[in-house]
Amino acid sequence: MQFKPTLGLSASLIAIAVVFAWLGQWQFERKNQKQILFDQFNNAPMLSIEQALQQGEQFARVHASGRFDETRHVLLDNKILNQRTGVHVLTPFVLSDGTSILVNRGWLPLPPDRRHLPAVPTDHSVRDINGILKKPSTDGPRLGRPDVLVADQWPQLVTYLEMENVSDALGTPLHPWLLQLDPADPAGFEGRQWKAAVMGPEVHAAYSLQWFSLSLATMIIWLTLGFRRAQQQSSEDQ
């Protein structure tokens, strides 16, 4: 059986197949990266917060003593829980050594009128808390200018978390980490089923399979059209 594809069609379909294959390989590599991240999350050690901060131990399960700042909260916007729009509540926690760290206390709903932010009930008494130490996320494109925080207006709504801006507004140095509050702690709110990342490795694996399948389908189309064209030319010659 003869195979006679056109030059233009061959160039186009092969180029498309190569792009699809490249996207499949990229998603496969992302899947491997995410698997390493999730393994790190699931096997993280239990440390004191002093040890975890000193070692820079991402995802460490930590114990800390201190007190919450009862009035100054940062509300991180665009957090969805059960198809509802809301915020993550980030509250400074003053550790026993006098340093401060932001604690993600979970999700609260955001009213349609954003001029009226949700109340954040907070106990200022000395307490012990547990949680997961995590680097603040800086991934993804950002639209618009950074949020401007002021020192005398709390709570404040932000689209992106900039630790330096928060620290300046608080007038207090902050550790460059977030402490994700343990789901059992009564000082927190909803949505504290913490994960290493929003998108797991299985999602990237599915995307990778889709792209490789599209690449294969494109090549099958190219072969089919090439053989069909050869048959048509043969019929015309006869």
How high is the pLDDT of residue 87? 93
The mean predicted confidence, pLDDT, of the chain is 89
How high is the pLDDT of residue 144? 56
Tell me the CA end-to-end span of the chain in Å, nearest whole number. Answer: 15
| CA dist., res. 170 & res. 152, Å (int) | 9
Locate the domains of the chain by residue range.
Answer: 7-37+201-237, 60-181
CB 51 within 8 A of CB 64: no
Helices (H) then strands (E): counts for the chain? 4, 8
Residue position matching structure tokens 């053989």? 227
184-234: pLDDT as tens digits: 999 999 999 999 888 899 999 999 999 999 999 999 998 888 887 777 776
91-144: pLDDT as tens digits: 999 999 999 999 999 999 988 877 788 889 999 999 999 999 999 876 555 555
Residue 72 pLDDT exceeds 90: yes
Overall pTM > 0.75: yes
CB 49 within 8 A of CB 64: yes
Spatial CA neighbour of 181 closest among 138, 127, 125, 139: 127
12-59: pLDDT as tens digits: 999 999 999 999 999 999 999 999 999 999 999 999 999 999 999 999
How high is the pLDDT of residue 227? 81
What ranges make up the beta strands (E) of the chain?
Answer: 46-48, 61-68, 74-81, 84-95, 100-109, 127-134, 156-158, 174-181
Residue position matching structure tokens 């913490």? 194
Spatial CA neighbour of 92 closest among 158, 163, 159, 146: 163
How high is the pLDDT of residue 197? 87
The pair of three-digit structure tokens given for residue 115, joined into one six-digit string = 């001029």
What ranges make up the beta strands (E) of 28-71?
Answer: 46-48, 61-68
CB 118 within 8 A of CB 190: no
The pair of three-digit structure tokens given for residue 125, joined into one six-digit string = 């008494």
166-179: pLDDT as tens digits: 999 999 999 999 99
